[in-house]
Amino acid sequence: MSDAKAKIALITGANKGIGLETARQLGALGITVLVGARDLKKGEPAAAELKKQGIDARALKLDVNSEADRKAAVEVIEKDFGRLDILVNNAAINLDQGAALETSTTPAKTLRDTFDTNFFAVVELTQMLLPLIRKSKAGRIVNVSSAQGSLSLLAPKGSQIYATKTFSYDASKSALNSFTLHLAHELQATPIKVNSIHPGWVRTDMGGPRAPLGLVDGAKTSVRLATLPDDGPTGGYFHMDEALPW
């Protein structure tokens, strides 16, 4: 059992990229971080890297699409910590990327596979962990979305992302934003806060080398929403301190 005073955070897809940097920044605040990774052979070195920096980090096998992994993760967290203070739903895929897919020719399988990871897995994992989050004095749920999940930003000509139309990915992030709104409404009378975030265009495997933001900046919005004070917002959609339109 960990120090009862230390907050416990689970970050999915945390063995690299924005997820790992989010774990690093949360850990630097004295928060115990569970490094969710589909492959423990990648998660354990990531956790070891954080430990070398004085962070209380632990790898947790968690393929978000695996019901068995989700159940096992819940059992481990309940047994070892008894609660969960922070959940950062970071794991995601973009199967449209680099495929030159048009909306009219996007295969149904691409849509289903994308939604399985970016939406259904997030909903199911969050629902399974919610009893443990309810045991926190101030639970925080951060859904890592994208500006491309904003219909208001995608629609108007002249928008910076108007020309970026990746149907499966965009639609899955719009659905994720809807989940954020609905769950935040349900939990509005509790101390739990639920928000969506846009990390920015970040230099990662998904973002590519031309992206203007590095990992440190890419993780800042998740960390901010994961550590909100009691009077912080819920049911919002943010990049840094800026509220984004749905």
Residue 4, classed as helix, strand or coil, is coil
H helix runs in the chain, sequence order: 17-28, 40-52, 67-80, 108-115, 121-133, 151-154, 167-186, 215-226
Catalytic member of 173, 193, 220, 237 = 173
Per-residue DSSP letters for 169-212?
HHHHHHHHHHHHHHHHHHTTTSS-EEEEE---SBSSTTT-TT-S
* Cα 229 from chain centre: 19
The number of residues making up the chain comes to: 246
| Residue 52 is among the residues annotated as catalytic for this protein | no
| Residue 237 is among the residues annotated as catalytic for this protein | no
Query: Is the Cβ–Cβ distance between 115 and 175 less than 8 Å?
Result: yes
Catalytic member of 7, 61, 169, 237 = 169
CA distances, 62 to each of 21, 42, 111, 136 (Å): 18, 11, 22, 21
Distance CA 126, CA 144 (A): 13
Distance CA 238, CA 246 (A): 10
Residues marked as catalytic: 169, 173
